């Protein structure tokens, strides 16, 4: 199947959904491509921080609202993974396994995926105590001890949610301080359920049929020990989803797309927004703003 649109948006996270809605509101034909869940990583967030709403809203609630608005406005949502993007004159060609789509302008909003530790036991015990979604799985660890790996916003937000269910939450932090926003740090510091292991890295996740512990090494003195737990939650950063883009799309050292002030990449007519772009600030409000700005810049 081949079809042509005014705009193609790759990725249905908050930035992509916002861009598609904005373009459709202006009467443009829009194709939105997403192979996984609408909303991207934000669907794992039970309560959005830094997003102006009258009442608390979850990530999945915001994503579903935006998706419904897109469908009402006539956006064609195609649930297929993108395999490649190429340039053909004034058009960009986006291919999936079954289809081909053309448009003069494309907004890349394919987001990022959570990084893994790459240690023994992590893959083998995924879904059996190893998780990357406290809001999905936290209730299963009620009254139990868990380990959270990471020291940024995502790690702290997930750890704070786990503390509502678990008897103890140990944060394993590579450095000597937390990099999360101060409100999260203050909540964790005041909660007696929290323990902190500074200057520490994970060497293995242990267990047979489920997680039984996390083997860690102190980077200051090289001492190794096992922390007993039934759950290991890993939040050590993200990697941008840019593998399908052509080589001439400029990227930074993290492989995130570099853009100009109008969010346009090194390839004219190709824009990048949200977690896939270099310099993204990471807040939901930023994603909404960038999606809107890119759609306006691309379509006028």
138 with 195, same domain: the answer is yes
Verify that 281 and 190 share a domain, yes or no: no
> What is the SS3 string spanning 10-22?
ECCEHHHHHHHHH
Average model confidence (pLDDT) across the chain: 93
Q: Which of 202, 234, 266 is the last residue of a domain?
A: 234
Query: CA 85, CA 245: separation in Å to the nearest integer?
Result: 6
Same domain, 228 and 274: no
In a domain, 123, yes or no: no
For 268, other C-beta atoms within 10 Å of its C-beta total: 12
Task: Report the alpha-carbon distance of residue 169 to residue 171 in Å, rounded.
Answer: 6
214: number of CA atoms within 13 Å, CB side?
27
Range of the structural domain that residue 244 is part of? 2-113+238-299
pLDDT tens by residue, 100-136: 999 999 999 999 999 999 999 999 999 999 999 998 8
140 in a domain, yes or no?
A: yes
Number of domains in the chain: 2
pLDDT range class, residue 247, cuts 50, 70, 90: very high
Buried-state track 176-210, b at ≥16 Cβ within 10 A, e below 16: eebebeeebeebbeeeebbeebbebbbbbbbbeee
Domain assignment present for 104:
yes
3-state helix vs strand vs coil in the chain, percent to 5:
25, 30, 45
String of DSSP letters for 114-139: E-----TTTTTTBTTTEES-HHHHGG
Q: How far apart are CA 15 and CA 12, in angstroms?
A: 7
Per-residue pLDDT of 21-77, as tens digits, reads 999 999 999 999 998 878 777 766 766 666 666 467 777 888 899 999 999 999 999
Q: Kindly compute the dihedral angle of the four CA atoms of residues 265, 271, 272, 273, in this order, to the nearest 10 degrees.
A: 140
Are 249 and 109 members of one domain? yes
- pTM for this one? 0.84
Residue for token pair 């893994």: 116
What mean pLDDT is predicted for residues 246-261?
96
Give 135-155 pLDDT, tens digit per residue: 889 999 999 999 999 999 989
Which positions ≥6 away from 18 have C-beta within 8 Å?
66, 287, 288, 290, 291, 292, 295
Is 124 part of a structural domain of the chain? no
CATH number of the domain within which 196 lies: 3.50.50.60
**pLDDT at position 1:** 65
Retrieve residue 24's tokens: 């459709």
Which residue, of 210, 234, 258, is where some domain finishes? 234
């Amino acid at each position: 199947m081949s079809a042509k649109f005014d705009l193609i948006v790759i990725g249905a996270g908050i930035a992509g959904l916002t861009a598609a809605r904005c373009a459709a509101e202006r009467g443009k034909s829009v194709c939105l491509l997403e192979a996984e869940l609408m909303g991207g990583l934000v669907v794992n967030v039970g309560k959005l921080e830094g997003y102006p709403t009258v009442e608390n809203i979850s990530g999945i609630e915001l994503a579903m609202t935006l998706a419904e608005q897109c469908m009402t406005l006539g956006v064609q949502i195609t649930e297929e993974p993108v395999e490649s993007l190429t340039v053909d004159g004034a058009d960009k060609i986006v291919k999936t396994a079954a289809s081909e789509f053309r448009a003069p302008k494309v907004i890349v909003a394919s987001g990022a995926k959570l990084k893994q530790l790459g240690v023994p036991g992590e893959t083998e015990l995924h879904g059996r105590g190893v998780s990357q979604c406290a809001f999905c799985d936290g209730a299963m660890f009620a009254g139990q001890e868990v380990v959270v790996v990471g020291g940024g916003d995502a790690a702290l937000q997930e750890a704070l949610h786990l503390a509502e269910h678990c008897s103890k939450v140990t944060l394993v932090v590579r450095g000597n301080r937390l990099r999360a926003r101060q409100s999260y740090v203050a909540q964790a510091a005041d909660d007696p359920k929290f323990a902190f292991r500074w200057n520490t890295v994970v060497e293995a996740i242990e267990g047979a049929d489920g997680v039984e512990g996390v083997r860690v090494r102190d980077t200051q003195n090289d001492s190794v020990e096992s922390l007993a737990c039934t759950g290991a939650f890993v939040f050590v950063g993200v990697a941008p989803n840019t593998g399908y883009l052509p080589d001439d799309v400029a990227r930074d050292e993290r492989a995130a797309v570099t853009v100009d002030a109008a969010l346009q990449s090194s390839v004219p007519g190709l824009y990048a927004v949200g977690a896939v772009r270099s310099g993204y600030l990471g807040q939901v409000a930023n994603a909404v703003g960038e999606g809107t700005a890119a759609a306006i810049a691309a379509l006028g």
